[in-house]
């Protein structure tokens, strides 16, 4: 890339400190009103920019990449996941794709633990009770929840976030279990006294709480299928801060409505921002608006990674967080 100040287009508003630095370093076009850019707007940006900075909600498919301008050489995504970008199409066009891994681990693990506690202790239901003026005072049998200490937590996906969750849950006295593509090193297992289950089906049938912490890939689509959801015991809870379509949401809703699953804490949804209407009516579900990684510190750290990736690429080096590299 010949220019020292490449033309970059940022699809959403980023923290002020990041936008200021981008303006200093690059010929940047920002999204000051933070409106979600349409597919046509993104396609136009891709026709003009040398670097596109999208977010995980911007779907960049094969058709859009094929129509991109000849100057577009880098898609520096603001986010960890890259399932919103057609990586094969990008590679075919000689476009490098980068992401921002490793900076959201603790924030997402915090949120997962918060949803776990909120679902088990009925915090969403209790908060609504107070706000609606329907709380009549303390009672020995009112709003009885579930103690998390001593319960079995099954973590689906024991990567950075899953491991961080395990450390938190262990401090609450929970028994840690996990299913992963590959078994962890014995030293890592020993740190949190984790039990490995090669069979996801068998693990699900024995857990009190199940947390989804795996990435969205073709292999994890509806990983918790209708069949697997039936393996959960009636007192079990589900927590999901990963991706909505890892769970068959329609099947989960049916089991929650029938009280065949005790409850759920959800930060992500299969068709977000649309939410299955029945979820909004269920008292045994805690809902949050995809804020698992939403801390100022985390967003700034993500933006800094984006800047480093762009600067490295412009300077002729391999970006440190390249998902696929076509340096030439």
Active site residues: 243, 272, 290
Structure tokens at 159: 């990567």
User: 74-76 and 51-53 as β-strands: parallel, antiparallel, unpaired?
Assistant: parallel
Q: What are phi and psi of 224, to 5 degrees?
A: -90, 85
Instruction: Please answer whether residues 5 and 315 qualify as being in contact, where contact means their C-beta atoms are separated by less than 8 angstroms.
Output: no
In angstroms, the CA 136 to CA 216 distance is: 44
Among candidates 264, 172, 246, 164, which has minimal Cα distance to 210? 264
In angstroms, the CA 54 to CA 56 distance is: 7
In angstroms, the CA 26 to CA 7 distance is: 7
| Helix/strand/coil percent split, the chain, to 5 | 40, 15, 45
User: 209-212 and 237-240 as β-strands: parallel, antiparallel, unpaired?
Assistant: parallel
Structure tokens at 72: 């577009």
Strand partners for 52: 9, 75
In angstroms, the CA 321 to CA 306 distance is: 9
Place of tokens 């689509």: 221
Q: How many helices (H) and strands (E) are present in the chain, helices listed first?
A: 12, 13
Of the CA atoms within 13 Å of residue 325, those in its CB half-sphere come to 13
In angstroms, the CA 217 to CA 225 distance is: 15
Structure tokens at 56: 């995980």
């Amino acid at each position: 890339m010949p220019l020292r100040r490449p033309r970059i287009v940022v699809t959403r508003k980023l923290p002020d400190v990041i936008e200021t630095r981008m303006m200093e370093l690059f010929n940047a076009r920002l999204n000051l009103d933070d409106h979600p850019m349409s597919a046509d707007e993104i396609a136009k940006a891709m026709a003009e920019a040398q670097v596109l900075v999208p977010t995980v909600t911007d779907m960049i498919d094969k058709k859009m990449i094929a129509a991109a301008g000849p100057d577009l050489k880098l898609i520096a995504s603001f986010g960890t996941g890259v399932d919103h970008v057609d990586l094969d199409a990008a590679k075919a066009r000689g476009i490098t794709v980068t992401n921002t891994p490793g900076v959201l681990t603790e924030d997402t693990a915090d949120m997962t633990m918060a949803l776990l506690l909120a679902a088990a202790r009925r915090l969403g239901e209790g908060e609504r009770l107070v706000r609606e003026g329907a709380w009549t005072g303390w009672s020995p049998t009112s709003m009885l929840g579930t103690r998390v200490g001593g319960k079995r937590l099954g973590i689906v996906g024991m990567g950075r976030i899953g491991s961080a969750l395990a450390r938190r849950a262990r401090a609450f006295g929970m028994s840690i279990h996990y299913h992963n593509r590959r078994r962890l090193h014995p030293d890592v297992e020993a740190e949190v006294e984790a039990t490995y289950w090669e069979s996801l089906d068998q693990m699900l049938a024995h857990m009190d709480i199940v947390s989804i912490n795996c990435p969205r890939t073709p292999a994890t689509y509806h990983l918790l299928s209708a069949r697997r959801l039936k393996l959960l015991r009636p007192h079990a809870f589900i927590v999901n801060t990963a991706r909505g379509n890892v769970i068959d949401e329609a099947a989960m809703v049916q089991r929650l409505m029938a009280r065949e699953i005790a409850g759920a804490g959800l930060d992500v949804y299969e068709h977000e921002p649309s939410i299955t209407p029945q979820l909004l009516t269920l008292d045994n579900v805690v809902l949050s608006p995809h804020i698992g990684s939403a801390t100022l510190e985390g967003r700034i750290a993500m933006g800094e990674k984006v800047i480093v990736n762009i600067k490295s690429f412009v300077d002729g080096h391999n970006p440190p967080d390249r998902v696929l590299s076509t340096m030439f």
